[in-house]
Amino acid sequence: MMPEHFIGDALQFPPTAIGYNLSQRLAALWPDKALLEGLDGSFDVEGYARAGHCALAESRVPHSQRLAHYFGVDHRPLYRAQQTLFDITWQGEPLRVLVMHWGDGMGPSYHFCIAADSQRLAEDFLMAVCAWNQEVRDEVLVFDSGHWHKDSELFAAIKGATLDNLVLQGSLKRDIYDDLNAFFSARDTYEEYGVPWKRGVLLVGPPGNGKTHAVKALVNALGQPCLYVKSFRSQGPDEFSIRAVFDRARMTTPCILVLEDLDSLVTPGNRSFFLNELDGFAGNTGILTLATTNHPERLDPAIVDRPSRFDRKYPFDLPAVEERRAYIMQWNGSLQPALRLSDPAIAGIAARTDDFSFAYLKELFISSMMRWISTRRHEHGAMDEVMGAQVDVLRAQMVSAVASYEVQPADDQGAFLMHRGVRHGPGRGGATYVPVDEREIPL
C-alpha cells in the first residue's frame, strides 16, 4: 500500500535530493517490481492513453495533484498530472507510473518512475510511449517557453495554405518549391558524393509581404513533419532550449525545422551555441532549416554569409504593380458581387498603392468594406469610390508612421534598430497571399 502522504513527504526534501529520496522509497515500497526512472519529456503517458494505446486510472492514494490548462473558448480545459500515481494496463500487463514535478533552481523538473513485473516490460512501455509522442502526425510540433507541444490548429491552418494561393514574381514560386522538394528527394545523391544531407533556407524581407503564407504553403506542399520554433527563451539558459530543438529535429528526420524571426531567436549570448548545433556536430542529416527574418541586418555574417548554414536566401520585398494587381484580383473575387471593384478600379488601385505591403493591401480591403457598410451605399460600383478614397487615408497614415520612426542606439553588430513605422524601403518583387484562412503563423 502506498503511504497516503508519500508524495508530500518526498517534496519536503531539498530539490537536489528529491529524486534520490524517491528512488529509495519506491525501491522499499515495491521490492518485487522492476523500476525504471527517467526525465525525458517525451514520456507523455496521459497523451498516449488519450489516444487509446493504454488504459489509465489515477490512484486514490496518495493525493493526486492535476493542473488545468486553458486552450481557448472553443476547447474544454486539459488536465495534466503534476504529482500523480497512475495504474496502467498496457497490452494486458499491469504497470504503475508515478509522475512528479518540482523546481530545481533552473526551472521545473519532470520526473517519472515506471514499476513493472520485469525490466523488459518497463523498457518496452517507455519506448512505446516516447516513440508515439515523437511521431508528428496531423499536427505541428511547436517549441515555446522551453517545451514542445502539439498544435493541431496550426496544422489545420497549414493545410489551408496552398501554393495555388501564393502569388510570387516570375518563376520564384516554382523555383523555391523545386529547390526544397529536390532536397528531400535527393538523399541518395547527397550520400553518393559525400555531401551532408542538410539544407538551410532563409526568407528575407519586411513584415507583411508573404513570408508567413509561403512557409505554410511550402510545409503543406512538401508533406514532411514540421517542427516550429517560436522562442528559445525559458526559465533556464537558451542553450538548453537550443539543444532540445535540434535533438528533437534529429529524432524526427527527415523534417522541416521552422525558425520564426531568426534575428530575435539568435542573440550575442547564444550565438556560438546555436551555430554549433546548426553546423550539426551531432549530425543534422535530413533537416531542412527554414528560417525567416524581417531584419537581416541584425544577423551576424557568420549566420547568413556561410553557405553551409543558410545556402539560399529568397527575397520577400514590397510588391510591384503586377503582384499588387494579382492580390487585388484574388481578394476581389472572394467578395460578394455588390462589394466588388470594377476592372478599371482594380487597375487604378494597383497603380496607386506603390509602397503598400500585402498586409497593408489587406487592411485596405477590410477598412474599405467597413466604410462601405457604414455609408450605406450598397449599390453596385460604389466600392470603386470608397476604396479610392481609402487609399488616400491609409497613405496619410503611412506618412505619419514614417515620420514617427524611433532610431535606437546601434546594437552589438552596429545595426540601428527601427521601431514603429510601416514603410520599409522601395523593394520590388516578393510574394503575396490570398486571405483564404486568416489564421497565420506569426512570422
Any residues with CB less than 8 A from the CB of 171 and at least 6 apart, and which? none
Does a structural domain hold residue 141?
Answer: no
Residue 423 has pLDDT above 80, yes or no: no
Q: What is the pLDDT of residue 429?
A: 40
Residue 190 has pLDDT above 50, yes or no: yes
> How confident is the model over 98-116, as pLDDT tens digits?
999 987 655 557 899 999 9
Q: What is the pLDDT of residue 403?
A: 55
278 close to 262: Cβ distance less than 8 angstroms: no
CATH assignment at residue 303:
3.40.50.300
Highest mean pLDDT among 170-179, 278-287, 372-381, 428-437: 170-179
Any residues with CB less than 8 A from the CB of 175 and at least 6 apart, and which? none
CA angle, 85 then 86 then 90, to 5°: 150
User: Is the whole-model pTM more than 0.85?
Assistant: no
State the cell numbers at 13: 526534501
CA nearest neighbour of 186 among 285, 283, 257: 285
Does a structural domain hold residue 260?
Answer: yes
State the cell numbers at 176: 523555391
Domain boundary among the residues 286, 315, 344 is at 315
Q: Is 182 in the same domain as 296?
A: yes
Q: What is the pLDDT of residue 185?
A: 95
State the cell numbers at 248: 528533437
Q: Is 121 in the same domain as 168?
A: no
Q: Is 17 in the same domain as 116?
A: yes
Residue 434 has pLDDT above 80, yes or no: no
Does a structural domain hold residue 110?
Answer: yes
The pLDDT-based confidence of 212 (bands split at 50, 70, 90) is confident
The pLDDT-based confidence of 234 (bands split at 50, 70, 90) is confident
Q: Which domain holds residue 306?
A: 151-315
DSSP string, 231-282: ---SSS-HHHHHHHHHHHHHHH-SEEEEESSHHHH--TTTHHHHHHHHHTTT
* Residue 78 φ then ψ, to 5°: -105, 125
State the cell numbers at 116: 513493472
Residue 308 has pLDDT above 80, yes or no: no
Does a structural domain hold residue 167?
Answer: yes
State the cell numbers at 334: 472572394
Q: Is 96 in the same domain as 175?
A: no
Q: Is 340 in the same domain as 308?
A: no
Q: Is 156 in the same domain as 85?
A: no
* Residue 57 φ then ψ, to 5°: -140, 140
Q: Is 119 in the same domain as 72?
A: yes
Q: What is the pLDDT of residue 72?
A: 72
> How confident is the model over 44-101, as pLDDT tens digits?
999 899 989 999 999 988 999 988 877 677 778 888 889 999 999 999 999 999 999 9
State the cell numbers at 220: 503543406
Does a structural domain hold residue 437?
Answer: no
Residue 270 has pLDDT above 70, yes or no: yes
CA angle, 384 then 399 then 262, to 5°: 100
Whole-angstrom distance, CA of residue 435 vs CA of residue 334: 9
> In the predicted model, what is the mean pLDDT of the chain?
84
Q: What is the pLDDT of residue 104?
A: 62
Q: What is the pLDDT of residue 70?
A: 78
> How confident is the model over 339-380, as pLDDT tens digits?
899 999 999 999 999 989 888 899 999 999 998 888 766 666
Tell me the one-letter amino acid at 239. E
Q: Is 278 in the same domain as 327?
A: no
Does a structural domain hold residue 268?
Answer: yes
CA nearest neighbour of 112 among 137, 133, 140: 133
Q: What is the pLDDT of residue 210?
A: 85
Residue 123 has pLDDT above 70, yes or no: yes
Q: What is the pLDDT of residue 425?
A: 37
Q: Is 278 in the same domain as 372?
A: no
Does a structural domain hold residue 67?
Answer: yes
Q: What is the pLDDT of residue 427?
A: 39
> How confident is the model over 236-258, as pLDDT tens digits?
789 999 999 999 999 889 999 99
316 close to 210: Cβ distance less than 8 angstroms: yes
Q: Is 15 in the same domain as 74?
A: yes
Q: Is 103 in the same domain as 22?
A: yes
Q: What is the pLDDT of residue 441?
A: 33
What is the 8-class DSSP label of residue 379?
S
CA nearest neighbour of 165 among 222, 202, 214: 214
**Total structural domains in the chain?**
3
Does a structural domain hold residue 433?
Answer: no
Q: Is 338 in the same domain as 398?
A: yes
